[in-house]
Chain A
Amino acid sequence: GAGVSQSPRYKVAKRGQDVALRCDPISGHVSLFWYQQALGQGPEFLTYFQNEAQLDKSGLPSDRFFAERPEGSVSTLKIQRTQQEDSAVYLCASSMGVNSNQPQHFGDGTRLSIL
């Protein structure tokens, strides 16, 4: 398919474990975003990449959260020493350019549950 692909679709981890979530954006899309969505809330911004450069990580809740996009395509969001409050849906979105007038295309998300 030509859409944004995320894996795994579901992830269950024990508190304290590290997890890694993958995002494969639409081919050629320059911009890539990670969001966290809690139940009943809108997506909350975590971090933004323009190609391989992480231009904004102001939304990352703590230093346990780390994201990378080393070759400007696939991105990984890593959460270390997971806590129960990390349980949420993690959404990845990509867009073609860098202007705010261009819509973002979302992946299905990874539903993370921390036990």
Chain B
Amino acid sequence: RKEVEQDPGPFNVPEGATVAFNCTYSNSASQSFFWYRQDCRKEPKLLMSVYSSGNEDGRFTAQLNRASQYISLLIRDSKLSDSATYLCVGGVSGGYQKVTFGTGTKLQVIP
């Protein structure tokens, strides 16, 4: 089983819709989580860190559920520019910050 698992999608949603992605992690020692965004043929870019209490940044909300070992990303009022692959990342603190990336969830926002 992969350490971090995501539904690869694609998720095709109309502009203005709300879409949510989940990501499960298998290592219960994981303490740090992030969502990265990767556009086609570009490098991953940090979208947001995921805090235990959940956090919101504009139209984006990230949540962590330690009991069920998953993190989620909610995008409200989807824009065409949100079309990208969203990478879930989990890290274990222990000497250094090794993190594991999921395979990514592809989102296509349709006009």
Contact = CB atoms under 8 A, between A and B. Distances in A.
A1 to B, nearest CB: 13
B101 A101 contact: no
B97 to A, nearest CB: 4
Interface string B35-75: 00000001111100100000000000000000000000000
Q: Interface of chain B, helix or strand or loop or mixed?
A: strand
Contact of A102 (B4, B43, B97, B102): B97
A31 interface: yes
Given A100-B31, A101-B91, A103-B34, A42 B103 contact: yes
A108 B43 contact: yes
Given A45-B98, A50-B96, A101-B91, 17 more contacts: A41-B103, A42-B102, A42-B103, A43-B44, A44-B101, A56-B98, A91-B44, A98-B97, A100-B96, A100-B97, A100-B98, A101-B93, A103-B34, A103-B49, A104-B97, A104-B99, A108-B43
B13 interface: no
Interface string A84-115: 00000001000101111111111111000000
A58 B4 CA distance: 18
Interface of A: 31, 35, 40-45, 48, 50, 55-56, 91, 95, 97-109
Interface of B: 4, 8, 31-32, 34, 42-46, 49, 87, 91-93, 95-104
Contacts of B46: 103-105
Contacts of B91: 100-101
A100 B92 contact: yes
Given A100-B92, A100-B93, A109 B101 contact: no
A93 to B, nearest CB: 8
A64 B7 CA distance: 33
